[in-house]
Structure 1
Amino acid sequence: MKKAQAVLLIIALSVSLGFNRINPFVTSTPDTIRVDKKFAQPKEEWISLYDSLGLARQGLSQTAFKYAWYGFQKMKLQNPVMAIADFSQSSCKKRLYVIDVLRKKLLLNTYVAHGRNSGQEYAKSFSNKESSFQSSLGFYRTLGTYQGKHGLSLKLEGVEKGINDRAMQRAIVMHGADYVSEDFIKNTGRLGRSLGCPAVSIADSKKLINMLYNGAGLFIYSMDQKYFKQSGLIAEII
């Protein structure tokens, strides 16, 4: 009888040890079996969206997307489309990303220009001053459209005080321009530059403006330490 009990005990221990070898994320206690929390927690929503859209392969900085995600949450946008201009990239790259957050879809990935006094191929200097002809970083809310010297244009409201809040005074808008093209890149080694506006190609301008007008968001990003220190919208996540 004692031998039978010993055999049963050995079998029970073997089964228990075997289970834990097969499931390394499960720890057993005398009373319960629990899943380790660090393996059970799902990815944050922004990471899941970034991964599902393949944005790393498209060249978008994960940091830029994270800041955009949290900043737009605070802005409470009416239009669920957000645009990110990643100015940490070369102007020869398609560094503008337009994303429908509700449908979880990348709507457009295309070229966007920076201001001519911000740099040559790369944007390195930024300003909120009138006549600086530099780009301003940070978060913008899109407003209505109008017909200007560049045709259909989209008004932008800079929402960060001291960083881009003079956008309307400076006539910083999104518009089409003939210097935003692959031919221009081939001829000069860089994209053309604006007077501070996030200009796009003439071919893309109309459909892009239709996606973004009236309450969408635009985030112009760079690895600029001065901006990180000043921005109230991303201060909590740095």
Structure 2
Amino acid sequence: MSFGLNFASLANSPLRLMFGIDGDAYDAALQSLDAHWDNPKLLRPFIMTLVDFTVPAKSPRLWMFNLALQIPLFYTPVAHGTNSGGAGAPATKFSNKAGTHKSCIGAFATNEKTHNSSLGHVKGHGLKVYGLDAGMNDNARARGIVFHGADYVKTTGAGRSHGCFATIPSINETLLPMIAGGTFVYAWGGASPTVD
């Protein structure tokens, strides 16, 4: 396994316990990473970002790790789509369709570079993602799903986006350079998510 990663040992990593990450979400992310490891869009798969949409939006629910070094890089709030769930609540409805204003779940690879955003409440730069799961999120890029900063995301929780991974603007500017360039993102929507 490249980068010295051992998925069996990662499953028992103290990182999960340290941050109280749901075991099912963490295991699903690792299994998905293992399945997508050889995808050519994943240039730096040892950088993993996990978004657990089953956690209420009023709490931090985005974790970013360097799995090769087994160190945490970020732990911060992130928004879900307006039609995925209530403000401050967990997200319960997801979509792969344009115009739904719902979040999408599954495995993603980040784009190779950021683009500038200046659309109303969208602050700073944005980062496009490629959905890696057919029928689940493979329309993410066409839908314009990006990581971006937004004023409605605070340290006390997140408002709702049009389906994008919106974060605190100041955090976003530090997060994007670290997450860009073919890293792995996994968004968890629970064991039996509703996806249209």
Question: Smaller-chain TM-score range?
Answer: 0.7 to 0.9
TM-score by length of 2: 0.84
Q: Select which of 113, 126, 129 maps to 2:97.
A: 129
Matched, 1:160 2:160: no
Give the gaps of 5 or more residues in structure 1.
1-42, 186-190, 229-238
Matched, 1:145 2:114: yes
Q: How far apart, CA to CA, are the structure 1 residues paired with 2:22 and 2:128? A: 26
Q: How far apart, CA to CA, are the structure 1 residues paired with 2:107 and 2:11? A: 20
Equivalent positions of 1:210-221 (< 5 A) are 210-221=177-188
- Partner of 2:43, secondary structure, is coil
Shift of 1:58: 2.0
- Partner of 1:156, secondary structure, is strand
Equivalent positions of 1:164-179 (< 5 A) are 164-179=137-152
Q: How far apart, CA to CA, are the structure 1 residues paired with 2:175 and 2:151? A: 16
Q: How far apart, CA to CA, are the structure 1 residues paired with 2:8 and 2:35? A: 17
Q: Select which of 45, 50, 70 maps to 1:104.
A: 70
Higher helix share: 1
Shift of 1:210: 1.1
The aligned length equals 177
Deviates more, 1:168-177 or 1:71-80: 71-80
The aligned residue for residue 34 of structure 2 is 73
Q: Select which of 23, 27, 30 maps to 1:62.
A: 23
Give the gaps of 5 or more residues in structure 2.
1-6
Measured at CA, do residues 227 and 216 of structure 1 come closer, stay the same or move farther in structure 2, by a change above 3 Å? farther
Higher strand share: 2
Greater RCO, CA 8 A, separation 6+: 2
Runs of 4+ aligned structure 1 residues displaced above 6 Å come to: none
Shift of 1:110: 0.6
Give the greater-gyration-radius structure (CA).
1
Query: Over residues 41-80 of structure 1, what are the superposed CA-to-partner deviations in whole Å (9 max), with x where a residue is unaligned?
Result: xx9312332xx22x23523111111111121122223212
Q: How far apart, CA to CA, are the structure 1 residues paired with 2:193 and 2:56? A: 20
Percent identity between matched residues is 31
Q: How far apart, CA to CA, are the structure 2 residues paired with 1:95 and 1:226? A: 17
- Partner of 2:149, secondary structure, is strand
